Amino acid sequence: MRRFLLLTIFNIVFCSVFGQTPDSNKYSIRLQSGYALSSPDGSSLSGLNSGWNTKLSLDSRIGRSENWFVGVGLDYLRTSFSNLPLSNVDADAYSLSWRTGWQTKLISDKVSAWGVVECGVAYMQSRHQYSGNRYRTNKSVPMIGAEIGVDYNFCNTMALSLSYGFTKYGNDNLRHGSFDYSSSKQLNFNPSMLSLGFKISF
């Protein structure tokens, strides 16, 4: 209860001090974190298990448009590789993406919906060494993703955000030392994420 009251007071103060008209908010920063679901068929393919995802993005409206925006995103996925010789191997995935999307108001000015498509590069590696080496991608791999979400706007500058999206990482094989990890089936790196976060506009 105390945390909720402190959050409410912070939102009121922030909105009263930094509140602006909608037309003056050209940029927005979004910080999201949440649960990452395992890759489909992860129990039978070499893929990713469930984990935790954190994402930071910076977007800018396109010209005078109130709906279209473009931006960049940084993403960190704390997960594990499945079906390696050592069973589940704790792993990290990092990505940098370029994104574009559309947002529109729903019902009232307090609620808005948005959607994003993105592409970029990612790198994955095990969190620990095994027999002196990490399981990792040989180089950066391509990634694509899509996300939809709903914002509850406390004011013109701050919103609470709920979203669902998926990311598809390139199917390059994992390496262990100087050798490819041989898999009889295609690597399956495409988790989906359910996230909660904040958006600040300025």
How much is the pTM? Answer: 0.83
What pLDDT, on the 0 to 100 scale, is given for residue 126? 93
- What is the arithmetic mean of pLDDT over 35-44? 72
- The secondary structure of residue 110, as a DSSP letter, is T
- The secondary structure of residue 42, as a DSSP letter, is T
End-to-end CA distance of the chain: 29
Q: How confident is the model at residue 33 (pLDDT cuts 50, 70, 90)?
A: very high
Q: Dihedral of CA 161/11/200/106: which sign?
A: positive
Residue pLDDT, tens place only, 103-126: 999 878 899 999 999 999 999 999
- What is the arithmetic mean of pLDDT over 144-150? 97
User: Residue 24, SS3?
Assistant: helix
The Cα–Cα gap between 34 and 104 comes to 24
What pLDDT, on the 0 to 100 scale, is given for residue 4? 43
HSE, side-chain direction, 13 A CA sphere, residue 7: 9
What pLDDT, on the 0 to 100 scale, is given for residue 6? 46
Radius of gyration of the chain (CA): 19
The Cα–Cα gap between 112 and 106 comes to 5
Cα-flanking dihedrals φ and ψ of residue 39, to 5°? -60, 140
User: Residue 124, SS3?
Assistant: strand
Residue that has been written with the tokens 């990311």 in this structure: 167
What pLDDT, on the 0 to 100 scale, is given for residue 183? 54
